[in-house]
Structure 1
Amino acid sequence: MSLRDIPWLSHQQATQAIENNMAERNINIPLESFAPPPTYRKTQQADGPESVHNHYHIGDDQLRATPWYRRKWAFWTMVGLLIFFVVAGLVIMGVVLKVELGKKAAEEAAHAGTAQSSGINTASSLTLATPTETSESKSSSAASASASASASAPSEAQATATPFTMSDRSQLASAYVKASDAALSRRLLIRQEDTNHLLVTEWANGQVAHYRIKDRLGSFPTEPKPGTPLALQADASGTLHLFYLSRSNILSYVYEPTVGKWKSGEVSNEHGSIRTSAYSSLSTAWHNGRRASALLVVAFDDPSQQLQLAMTDSPAERGSWYLARVTSVSKGSVPGQSNVPCYSLAGDWFRAAQQKQDGDNQHLLIAIVEGSEVHAWECAVDFWPPPDVQVQCKEVQERFHDGAGKGLVLVPPPTQLAWISLNDGQDKSVSNYDFDLFSQDGSGTVRENTVGAGITRGAGAGFTAQMPIRAISTTSEGIVFASSGKDVFTYRKQGSRWRPDVGTNVTFQA
């Protein structure tokens, strides 16, 4: 036995002695009965043991989703947007700088052109419509300039410094405001920009100026629709009246009571504004009836393609317009021909040799194209103002017959008509006639016919341009403007022939 076993042996002997002593005394110490350990598992189901799921949660009961701005797609999207805005800013800055430089260059060119202009010559580049006639045109430029010199342009009639480009769909409207002093007369040409704004070119005070009508209006103007027809007329006081169509084909009106300052008007009656057809033409003239004097008349075709006349003696007064129906201008579909109605108001006519111009015998002359023939219509107004007003219109086909009794047939059919009044005696060789009628069919040829009350029709010389003509307009001084889309050329009659007028000829380019 080793020494390490002695304590253990002593402990065993002591323990055995205690047990023997307690047994001899019959001492029983009750032992506590312990219940079986609790069952921590659910009763097993018949189909087998149930899976035990252990869920560990830290913080909230549910896991939160990753914020959108921390996701990869959001990061790359923001990077792309940042790059886009930087590039767009650089592009816009470049465009603005280019426009500003263009404005500055245009302003310098305008000032230079104005300083060099003399008479009524334009500040833009002079361009002949027929190059072969350069020498003849130059020889007559001095006479043309002196005959059409105009003055009294106000200080506000300055050339616009903003570059412009004429729309290739632009129509033309022009007028000559004649004053008792020839130096106070002025000429205006209206056309449309590629931004659809209406642009004025005015020859006055020996200079030419360009400006947008919207910049001279005291109120916000009705926006013209692209390619709108234009009709311009001046009254005895020098006020100009301009008609055009809005984008919704509403007949719109602005007027210039003071030189260089325009105002918005309204063509309306008791039923409200007047709506035209989508392809309506426009034409305007003055009419003096038997008991109706100084009526401003505007011709248009309504949505049912009925030719209507809107007339008033107070154009600036709201609701003062009266409507009268003339005839149907509906056109059937003909291959190779335009379906757009073609008509034009000439104005009142009477024998030029007649000394007394009595309203009892004056009629408003209208030319209406039907097929390839131009028909003459006359209208007379009596018992003005409404509601007692009477308007009578009738066709007078013999008015356009020639000496052989033939009507006015034009092939191909014209797409536009325009008039020059001969009552002021601009051309002494046709003093017995009332009007020169011009027609264009989209080619480079402008045909001319002279008509008068009680006189057989005469054929004029007309002229042919070097390019297709898309629009024409005339003035009472005997000038014809012709547009090829981007360029405008001017013709004046010299003797028996129409020639380019170098004094007013101008090319409008970007």
Structure 2
Amino acid sequence: MPLLDIPWLSHQTSRADMTTEGNIPLEAIPPPPPPDYRKTQRDGPDSVHNHYHIGHERGPTPWYRRKWAFWSMVGLLVFFVVAGFIIMGVVLKVELGKKAAAASDGQLHPLVNASTSASPTLTDTPDDDVGEATTTTKFKKKPDSTSTPTTSENGATATPFTMLDSSQLASASVRVNDASRSRRLLIRQEDTNDLLVTEWTNGQTMHYRIRDRLSSLPPEAKPGTPLALQADDAGTLHLFYLSRSNILSYLYEPTTGEWEAGEVSNEHGSVRTSAYSSLSTAWHNGRRASRLLVVAFDDPSQQLQLAMSSSPAEHGSWYLADVTSVSRDSVPGQSNLPCYSLAGDWYSNTTATAARGAEAEAESWHKDDAGGNQRLLIAVAEGSEVHAWECGVDFWPPPDVQVQCKQVDEHFRDGAGKSLTLVPAPTQFAWLNLHDGQQGGSSTSTHQAFILLSLDGSGVVRENTVGGYVTRSAGAGFTARMGIKALSTTSEGIVFASSGKDVFVYSRHEGRWQPDVGTNVTV
């Protein structure tokens, strides 16, 4: 049986059905598919494959991967390295040349003034000059070939010195039989907070930082720290300042240029002051307490306190005593810091003794010379009013020690009975002790005299003379060339005044203050 063409039969059947149902126009019959129907792709555009092809053409190369950029950077690096070596070589050559020139020409160290101005030599003050607050310094010219006293052997530094604008001043003079230990010191603070010493001794002037003369680093001084300096009979200088944490810190200089670190402490540890405390120091001989070094400060509660010791360098040897409150109300345009200062010992004359006449005065003097009525005089400012306080110590050492303080404003009254009032209000006090080291003087008036210098932030320094047996009298004082921010004195009658960047020197001759051009403080 022959095979049937099934598609053909199906097609014929469909045509027969259409013929029977009616005539269908040819346009309604879809055309047959084209011959290449199965040979073309139905999806149109090229299909996208889910993988990458490595192209035959490269894209543009970034600029930093090009050869010219690489070699340019290498060239710049070589240029900077070579330039750095050249600059370093030039600087070293210049510095070595300066050092060689200084060594060959005998020039002074950079910290020492190279001028040939006068340099002081300290001498003892004769007894006949007790009544005059004149300087007892002789001057001689330094030779041009003077070598620097601040050598590397002594640990000095050649770093330039710039004084801190808020630096305080402290000064003292030492007069002992050994001329090599007689000296004068001025201490100030530089902008790195280091304490810098200017020391006159043996006809030479030295400038050095205290930290360079210590075997261990002391507590760092706070910016603008108050300074207090005092000398003893053996020639040792005692320096007090405040650390950054307001700890009362202590350094001392037994011999010229050699410093050691101590501490102010008792059984409770170190002594902490208020953040804005002042400092002042003096020696006191009590009834049964001799040679006490006393430091005045105000504690965090603004209570004026005295720290005292007969052995300052000994650990835990300090005793604290209260005096009075030193709180001040804020006054616009004025300093809000407490203002007080220790004058030192004087031989107090009570009102009853003064009323008994000359005979009682002579009797009191006899007792005073035996150490009976010595009192520590303190000036304390409350606004524009200045009050006098006296403190006495008995039964030393602790724990049986007794400290008595009382207010004695009668010592600060003038001949008309007026109290001491200073307008504008004082910001700092400084004392000149006219009987310092001369307690055997023949004039009782001079023997009792102190000069109180007061500073109010302007260029005017006011002067008042007070004493146990004399009425207060106002002096001429002096006016500086510019505003004064800090003040310090020595027992020679020399005053150092700071304007913030410069220090001026004044001395008192025949009752008048004059600039002291012979004392060179330039660094």
TM-score by length of structure 2 reads: 0.71
Could you say which residue in structure 1 is the equivalent of 2:138?
A: 145
In 1: Cα distance, 2:116 partner to 2:274 partner: 46
Residue identity in the other structure for 1:330: S
Q: Within 5 Å, give how 1:273-422 maps onto structure 2.
A: 273-350=270-347, 354=365, 357-422=369-434
Query: Is the 8 Å Cα contact of residues 351 and 434 (structure 1) preserved in structure 2?
Result: no
Q: Distance in 2 between matches of 1:328 and 1:244?
A: 21
Tell me if structure 1 keeps the 8 A contact 2:345–2:375: yes
- Deviations along 1:225-277, one digit per CA (max 9) or x if unpaired, are 11100000011100111000011111101111222110110111111111111
Counterpart secondary structure, 1:406: coil
In the alignment, the residues of structure 1 paired with residue 102 and residue 300 of structure 2 have an alpha-carbon distance, to the nearest angstrom, of: 43
- Taking every aligned residue pair, what percent have the same amino acid on both sides? 72
2:260 is aligned, of 253, 260, 263, to 263
**CA shift in 2, pair 1:429/1:482, >3 Å:** farther
Deviation at 1:454, TM superposition (A): 3.2
C-alpha contact 2:497 2:504 (8 A) present in aligned 1: yes
Letter in 2 for 1:278: A
Partner of 2:159: 162
Map of 1:450 onto structure 2: 465
Shift of residue 146 of structure 1?
4.5
Asked if 1 retains the 8 angstrom alpha-carbon contact of 2:164 and 2:190, the reply is: yes
Which residue pairs with 1:110 in the alignment?
108
Q: Which of 474, 480, 487 pairs up with 1:465?
A: 480
Return the letter of the residue paired with 1:120: P
Following the alignment from structure 1 to structure 2, what is the Cα–Cα distance between the partners of residues 99 and 418? 46
1:174-193: CA deviations, max 9, x gaps? 00001136675210000011
Superposition RMSD on alpha carbons, in Å? 4.0
3-state SS in 1 of match to 2:300? coil
Structure 1 residues 374, 103: CA separation in 2 closer, same or farther (over 3 Å shift)?
farther
Post-superposition offset of 1:120: 1.8
1:334 Cα shift?
1.5
- Amino acid in structure 2 at the alignment position of 1:480: V
1:119: Cα distance to partner? Answer: 4.5
Any unmatched runs of 5+ in structure 2? 1-48, 53-64, 122-133, 143-148, 350-361
Q: Residues 145 and 87 from structure 1, CA distance in 2 versus in 1: closer, same or farther, beyond 3 angstroms?
A: farther
SS of the aligned residue for 1:412 comes to: coil
Tell me, yes or no, if the aligned pair for 1:489 and 1:505 is still in contact at 8 Å: no
Residue 195 of structure 1 corresponds to which residue in structure 2? 192
* Residue 218 to residue 423, structure 1, CA distance change in 2 (3 Å): same
Give the counterpart letter for 1:399 in structure 2. H
Q: How many angstroms does 1:96 deviate by?
A: 7.2
SS at 2:211 equivalent: helix
Secondary structure (helix, strand or coil) at the match of 1:263 reads strand
Pairwise CA distance, 1:439:
0.6
What is the CA–CA distance in structure 1 between the aligned matches of 2:93 and 2:384, rounded to whole Å? 50
Q: Which one-letter code corresponds to 1:414 in the other structure?
A: P
Verify: 1:431 aligned to 2:446, yes or no. Answer: yes
Residue of structure 2 in register with 1:491 after alignment: 506
Q: C-alpha distance in 2, partners of 1:213/1:101? A: 27
Q: 1:319 to 1:93 in 2, by over 3 A?
A: farther
CA contact (8 A) 1:351 1:432 kept: no
Counterpart AA for 1:343:
Y
Return closer, same or farther for 1:143/1:311 CA change in 2, 3 Å cut-off: closer
Change (3 A) 1:163 1:210: same
- Greater shift in the superposed pair: 411-420 or 177-186: 177-186
CA-to-partner distance for each residue in 1:324-359, whole Å, 9 max, x for gaps?
111111111121221110000111102799466232
Matched, 1:120 2:120: yes
Secondary structure at the aligned position of 1:344 is classed as strand
Q: Could you say what secondary structure the match of 2:338 adopts?
A: coil
Amino acid at match of 2:108: A
Alignment partners' CA distance in 1, 2:466 and 2:102: 45
Distance verdict in 2 for CA 1:410–1:117, change over 3 Å = closer
Q: Cα–Cα, structure 1 residues 399 and 195, in superposed 2: closer, same or farther, change >3 Å?
A: same
CA shift at 1:360, angstroms? 1.8
Offset of 1:434 from its aligned partner? 2.4
1:179 maps to which residue? 176
- Preserved contact between residue 489 and residue 507 of structure 1 (Cα < 8 Å): no
Displacement of 1:95 in angstroms is 12
Q: Distance between the aligned counterparts of 1:409 and 1:254, measured in 2?
A: 36
Sort the Cα spacing of 1:284 and 1:100 in 2 relative to 1 into closer, same or farther, 3 A.
Answer: farther
**Distance change >3 Å, CA 219–CA 92, structure 1 → 2:** farther
User: Is the 1:117–1:206 Cα contact (8 Å) retained in structure 2?
Assistant: no
Following the alignment from structure 2 to structure 1, what is the Cα–Cα distance between the partners of residues 316 and 135? Answer: 47
Residue 505 to residue 54, structure 1, CA distance change in 2 (3 Å): closer
Cα deviation for residue 507 of structure 1 reads 3.9
Change (3 A) 1:507 1:487: farther
Aligned residue in 2 for 1:245: 242
> What SS does the aligned partner of 1:215 have?
helix
Q: Secondary structure at the match of 2:466?
A: strand
> SS at the partner of 2:286?
coil
CA change 1:183–1:318 in 2 (3 A) is: closer
Residues 184 and 241 (structure 1), Cα distance of their counterparts in 2 relative to 1, 3 Å cut: closer
Q: Name which of structure 1's ranges 447-456 and 472-481 shifts more when overlaid on structure 2.
A: 447-456
Contact 2:394 2:402 in 1 (8 A): yes
1:142/1:403 CA distance change after superposition, 3 Å = closer
CA distance in 2, matches of 1:468, 1:98: 43
Is the Cα–Cα contact under 8 Å of residues 219 and 249 in structure 2 kept in the other structure? yes
Report the CA distance shift for 1:277/1:88 in structure 2 as closer, same or farther (over 3 A): farther
TM-score (norm 1): 0.73
SS of 1:199's equivalent in the other structure is strand
- Residues of 2 paired with 1:378 and 1:147: CA distance? 42
Cα 1:453–1:91 change in 2 (3 A) is: farther
CA separation of 1:489 and 1:109: change in aligned 2, threshold 3 A: farther
Q: What residue ranges of structure 1 are gaps of 5+ in the alignment?
A: 1-52, 57-69, 122-140
Aligned-residue offset at 1:145: 2.7
Q: Distance in 2 between matches of 1:294 and 1:454?
A: 24
The correspondence for 1:217, drawn from 214, 217, 233, is 214
